[in-house]
Amino acid sequence: MGMKVCSQFFLVFTLLLMLGCVSTPHRGDEKSVVLLDAHASQSDVVPTRYEKKIYQVLLAETAYQRGQFQQAVDGYLSAALGSRDPALVERACYMALNADRQDAGLQMAQYWVSLEPESVKARYFLALFYMRKGQLKLVQEQLEQTLSIDVDGNALGFFGVAEILGELGGHDALFVMQKVVADYPDNVNALVALSQLALRVGEFDEALSSVTYARSLMPDRVDALLLQIQILQARGDGGIAIDHLAHAIDQHPADVTLRQWYAQLLEASGREEEAFVQFKIVESQSPMDGDAIFSLGVLAFNDSRWALAQTYMQRLLDIGGFNNEANYYLGWLAELEGTYAEAIEFYSSVNLEGAYFDAQIRLAYNTAKLGDLNVARGYLESIEPEGVVEVERVFIAQGELLRDARQFEEAIEVYSRGLQKLPGNHELLYARAMVAEAIGHNEQMKQDLEAIIASDPKSTNALNALGYALVEHGGDIDKAEGYLLRALALDPQSYYIIDSVGWLYYRRGEYAKAIEYLNRAYNLGKDAEVAAHLGEVLWVIGDYEGAKDIWDRALKDAPGHKALLGVVERFSAQ
């Protein structure tokens, strides 16, 4: 009970300070402030006007905490209008803004400006409420007033104007900003702020024009250069952006920020070798730069330079700051080496940030590889997925663990449970169809693939899988051809779809067509299964040497491929 009274006292004391009613006693004849006492009789206490204000504020804050926003605004409005305290008026403005009380907010903002005409924040609030009411001319007037207030050479003013107009968005915002900066045609801050707003509302030409002129006035301004790069990227002019950065780096070779941007842009453009060189320079200039070290590690990983990737990721752990990402990649690297226990240790070190979800999935796979299927499934069932994608991935992972353990019926049951939560989910339908085919449940497979195609007629995976399955299992060959040619038209460079078309013509006895398609597929993908198909067709038409040659070449790249070995063994025995 005593604690509650103490807390209430400090709240009242704070409000008294806010209202400007508390000061250090310096005259013996001053009357002390009488706090409201709930236990005192009405005849004992005569509330002062300050106490009434405090009581109004307390009621308003209580209403706000309870979600009674309209009542809170009314309370603050009443208290603030009778006060000359800007802090109280500012709080009333925030209340009105949150409660979407435009008229009350406008009234408060106007009062605030009358109290503090040199307050940039007050004028921004007034402009914001004018903006909400669509009074663009008055918005412009208030924002122009802020530029006459000296705040760091007006730099904050222009960027603040752009920020508040960003709330409005669209052509109206850009129109007002153009009016505001019209009197400052050569002010670089004004031009950059205008460019930022134009980029924000999607007017790329205006954004590029403004920032380009700003850079002509001040070529060495780095933030303007980086803004120009952003705009060029947004326009799809990545090559021009790279050229601009390359030129800037030639002029400022020691600028780490510019070089980091340059490296990132090269990486995003697929020029990974060049990106690696630039990140190495960043690393030499700034050896503890975690971003550069992480990028070098990822690039090395993508290039299959496992030992180098491991070195960079271990360095990340040593310097700190990227522990989640480093542990995740180190786990992946250990998994690639087949050291599953070590991979589990790394994945277990990824905490609730960053790559936690992916790490838990990989943790389950590696546990299953060590033979602990039940423990692996326990990991997956303990995950609390967020959103459709994560729910889908958990069910897919559980099904794959069971499929790999050849527990096909259980895998189908898991996918079916997933489809109860995510009806019609294409990934789950496809996964169930593939497992159903593996155990001869062809009708289930057909239904699932047809459901995907009905929902998405451009699903190349489903079209190809259904067409190929009809060829393999003696279905309607003409219908299979229709599915496969539709898939090929959608993705003409897919070697596995081309392989399926070639296999269809082989089953039809059209060997010349089959060899044409299978050769195309093998040249595109160098895939062992395609080699098995092509060799089989060559063998059947009597080209034994051609068949052996293609099989030998494929076995050098994939010596343990089961389907290829099976075909070689079957025909070599003839």
Q: Provide the pLDDT for residue 502.
A: 96
pLDDT tens for residues 499-547? 999 999 999 999 999 999 999 999 998 999 999 999 999 999 999 999 9
Quote the pTM value. Answer: 0.65
* Per-residue model confidence (pLDDT) at position 125: 78
Number of neighbouring beta carbons within 10 Å of residue 401? 23
Taken as a whole, the chain contains a residue count of 574
- 366 CB neighbour count, 10 Å cutoff: 25
* Residue 499 C-alpha from the chain's centroid: 36
Mean pLDDT for 92-97 is 75
Q: What percent of the chain lies above the pLDDT cut of 90?
A: 49
Close Cβ partners of 145 (under 8 Å, ≥ 6 residues apart): 123
Please answer whether residues 533 and 506 qualify as being in contact, where contact means their C-beta atoms are separated by less than 8 angstroms: yes
What are the tens digits of pLDDT across the range 357-386? 999 999 999 999 999 999 999 999 988 898
Q: Tokens in use for 304? A: 């299959």
- pLDDT of 29 > 50? The answer is no
CA nearest neighbour of 346 among 315, 516, 360, 116: 360
User: Contact, 463 vs 453, CB < 8 A?
Assistant: yes
In whole angstroms, give the CA distance from residue 420 to residue 270: 40
**How many angstroms from the chain centroid is the CA of residue 448?**
31
CB 55 within 8 A of CB 79: no
SS (H, E, C) 148-215: CCCCCCCHHHHHHHHHHHHHHCHHHHHHHHHHHHCCCCCCHHHHHHHHHHHHHCCCHHHHHHHHHHHH
Q: What is the rounded CA–CA span in Å between residue 518 and residue 511?
A: 10
Q: Give the C-alpha distances (Å, rounded to integers) separating 334 from 90, 246, 341, 366, 556.
A: 57, 37, 9, 10, 25
Q: How far is CA 199 from CA 60, 167, 193, 203, 225, in A?
A: 40, 14, 10, 6, 14
Q: What is the largest CA-CA distance in the chain?
A: 120
CA pair distance 425, 209, nearest whole angstrom: 46
Residue 5: CB partners within 8 Å, gap ≥ 6?
Answer: none
Name the packing angle between helices 136-147 and 170-181 (round to 10°). Answer: 40
Neighbours of 315 (CB within 10 A): 19
d(CA 175, CA 193): 13
pLDDT higher than 70, residue 287: yes
Ranges 18-22, 230-234, 449-453: which has the least confidence: 18-22
At residue 430, does pLDDT exceed 90? yes
State the amino acid at position 489 in one-letter form: A
**Stretch 224-232: mean pLDDT:** 89
pLDDT above 50: residue 309: yes
Q: What pLDDT is attached to residue 51?
A: 55
Please give the span between the terminal C-alpha atoms of the chain, in angstroms, as a whole number. 96
